[in-house]
Chains A and B, each alone.
Chain A
Amino acid sequence: MEKFFLKEVRIHARAGQGAITTASLLGEALFAEGKFAYAFPHFGAARMGAPMNAFVRVSDKPIRLRSQVYEPDYLLIIDPTLIMGFDVFKGFKEGGIAIINSEEEISLLGLKKNQKAFFVPANKIAQELMGRPLGNMAILGAFSGITGLVKIDSLMEAIKRRFSGKVAQQNLEIAKRGYAYLITK
């Protein structure tokens, strides 16, 4: 069977930190680029603050596989405190890219040599631009900047469709700042 394009993203967050929004916006932006994406959450206790995952599986053909993502190409760590309690790097693909919401570099024991981790002060960016430490949009912007899997413009359009007014404006700014953060760095 001919090889096709398939990438998998795993998001680690706590319920209430916008992981589902992150996953679905990413999926929607990819859809706008003509790809197929299946974005879905997996809850623990399904209560605010409880650890949870969201996943995005993207391909150039319809996604049929419904299982969780065990061997992610990309990791988005929305809440870095989860790194202590969980093996967030479990199954992480060779050559994988992790984007971690943190102002400082954290030493990552679970990371292999050919895997890369980028640290983005996403909460700080959001706090500055929105007055709330919701780092998911900056992480999403940074994901576009670092991986190029999705265009920043497609993300912007998806954000505009999802939110309106001031909230949309704030989220756009945050995503842009996240996008630019590592490029300028």
Chain B
Amino acid sequence: MKAYLEGSQAIAKVVALCRPGVISAYPITPQTHIPETLAQMVAEGELKAEFVNVESEHSAASCCLGASATGVRAYTSTSSQGLLYMLEVLFNIAGLRLPLVLTCANRAVSAPINIWNDYQDAITLRDSGWIQFYAETIQEAVDLHIQGYRLSEDIRVLLPVMVNVDGYILTHGYEVVDIPEQELVDKFLPPYQLKYKLDPDNPLTLGVLAGPDYYMETRFAIQKTMEDVLEIIPEISGEFFEVFARKSGGLIEGYFLKDAEKVIVAMGSVCGTIKEAIDGLRDKKEKVGLLKIITYRPFPEEEIYQALKNAREIAVLEKAISLGGFGPLYTEIKSVFQGKKENPKISGFVIGLGGRDITKDSIRSVSDRLSGKQVDCEFIDLNLKGEHKDNLLGGSGVASQFIEQE
């Protein structure tokens, strides 16, 4: 049913439709309304699940690890510092090959303290063995959670899935969302069944010591599975379309790619802003297109190559940076063309860190710069003069105004 919902509420509703048995979360900043809404649903008997309030994100992740290991579908959400605090447990969940879906409401990482949106939190987890999706809209976020559980629990996969949803922009934004019927979700997502699980009647041990004789093979196994996942994601996205009559998910999405000479590569909600900017540029006969990466891990190298091979100039736009190196996505997009006959000019742009607003002008300036010389790591909308375009928080904001008045 279509409803007008806040992103966090919509995600909570769809997580409930996925029938998790255990939900665990740490309830303070940087948290969202997702666990709050779920906690209320559990308290009111609307959702039959155990809500475990814990003292930290580390414990929330551990709780979900335990639940999943006993064969119970689990859920948690966090962001920023919370995600980093979960980090060692998250590596364990992937290493143990435990299915789980986690929502990361993407936010910047301290210091300085910043609660606003960027991807530094999730990108830090890119090497952990988690599958990573990035949602453009609240609807896509909702759909990716259903697909996420299905994928994660697939016997061919058994890896955790992180659904990345832009903090504030999507988690605190309201828009029209189609929340699917329970029957359809049940049809698409069968009950969670784990073949090897922690069970007192059939004792077994998970995650035992694997010395130099075995450890490497476990990593190899995950790497091979990730390759398979690149095949399984389109399959699941296709089945999702059959059941819900809505195209959602998959590896990548193109916008005006066919004849595009310039292509912007990006992930998440900024893709909407880019599409708007592209419409304007297309009106001026500029052949610009967008490649949206939905699945960042595993990295869909071949699909990206096919989508970009006719482009002459490529701009990779990302809300994260590997400090001292480059934007992580930029590095990978460049590697796609290593050894290929095509040799497009690829530039890397860092944008929107710590919630710096990304406007159509920001996108246009990237598109303009593409015709200039190649850059590896250029910051967009950087302001070293102290003037800000923000409506309230910048140059016309609290501190400077009061200083001026005095």
Interface stretch (choices B61-69, B226-234, B267-275, B365-373): B267-275
Neighbour of B273 across the interface among A23, A40, A67, A87, CB < 8 A:
A67
Interface size class of A (residues with CB under 8 A): 35 or more
CB distance from B380 to the nearest CB of A (A): 13
Is B358 interfacial (CB 8 A cutoff)? yes
CB distance from B266 to the nearest CB of A (A): 12
Closest to A51 in B: B392
Q: Encode contact with B along A53-96: 1 for CB under 8 Å, 0 otherwise.
A: 10000000011111111100000000000000111001000000
B392:A12 contact, CB within 8 angstroms? yes
B4:A66 contact, CB within 8 angstroms? no
Neighbour of B174 across the interface among A1, A39, A69, A90, CB < 8 A:
A39
Closest to B275 in A: A64
Is A106 interfacial (CB 8 A cutoff)? no
Residues of B within 8 A of A (CB): 4, 6, 115, 166, 168-169, 172-176, 269-270, 272-273, 275-276, 279, 282-283, 357-360, 362, 389-393, 396-398, 401-402
Closest to A28 in B: B4
CB distance from B389 to the nearest CB of A (A): 7
Q: CB-CB < 8 A to B397: which residues of A?
A: 44, 51, 86
CB distance from A62 to the nearest CB of B (A): 8
Give Cα A62 to B136, complex, Å. Answer: 13
Q: With A23-B174, A38-B173, A66-B270 in contact, do A90 and B396 touch (Cβ < 8 Å)?
A: yes
A65:B276 contact, CB within 8 angstroms? yes
Neighbour of A44 across the interface among B169, B279, B393, B401, CB < 8 A:
B393
Is A118 interfacial (CB 8 A cutoff)? no
Is A46 interfacial (CB 8 A cutoff)? yes
A37:B279 contact, CB within 8 angstroms? no
CB distance from A65 to the nearest CB of B (A): 5
Q: CB-CB < 8 A to A120: which residues of B?
A: none
CB distance from A71 to the nearest CB of B (A): 11
Q: CB-CB < 8 A to A62: which residues of B?
A: 176
Q: CB-CB < 8 A to A23: which residues of B?
A: 174
Is A42 interfacial (CB 8 A cutoff)? yes
Q: CB-CB < 8 A to A37: which residues of B?
A: 4, 174-176
Q: CB-CB < 8 A to B168: which residues of A?
A: 40-43
Q: A37-B4, A65-B276 are in contact. List 16 more A-B contacts (CB 8 A).
A: A1-B283, A24-B174, A37-B176, A40-B173, A42-B168, A44-B397, A51-B392, A63-B175, A64-B272, A65-B272, A67-B360, A67-B362, A68-B391, A85-B398, A86-B401, A87-B396
Neighbour of B392 across the interface among A20, A39, A52, A64, CB < 8 A:
A52
A85:B393 contact, CB within 8 angstroms? no
Neighbour of B175 across the interface among A32, A38, A68, CB < 8 A:
A38
Give Cα A132 to B273, complex, Å. Answer: 39
Is A145 interfacial (CB 8 A cutoff)? no
B174:A36 contact, CB within 8 angstroms? no
Neighbour of A39 across the interface among B173, B275, B276, CB < 8 A:
B173
Give Cα A32 to B2, complex, Å. Answer: 10
B389:A70 contact, CB within 8 angstroms? yes
Which among A31, A36, A63, A64 has the greatest number of chain B C-beta atoms within 10 A?
Answer: A64
Give Cα A35 to B357, complex, Å. Answer: 25
Which residues in window 3-49 of A have CB below 8 A to B? 10, 12, 20, 23-24, 27-28, 31-32, 36-44, 46
Give Cα A63 to B276, complex, Å. Answer: 9
CB distance from A76 to the nearest CB of B (A): 13
B391:A53 contact, CB within 8 angstroms? yes
- 20 A–B contact pairs at CB < 8 A? A24-B174, A27-B4, A28-B174, A37-B175, A41-B172, A42-B168, A42-B391, A42-B392, A43-B168, A51-B393, A62-B176, A64-B275, A65-B273, A66-B272, A67-B357, A67-B358, A67-B360, A68-B359, A70-B389, A85-B402
CB distance from A47 to the nearest CB of B (A): 11
CB distance from A69 to the nearest CB of B (A): 8
Neighbour of B169 across the interface among A20, A40, A51, A85, CB < 8 A:
A40
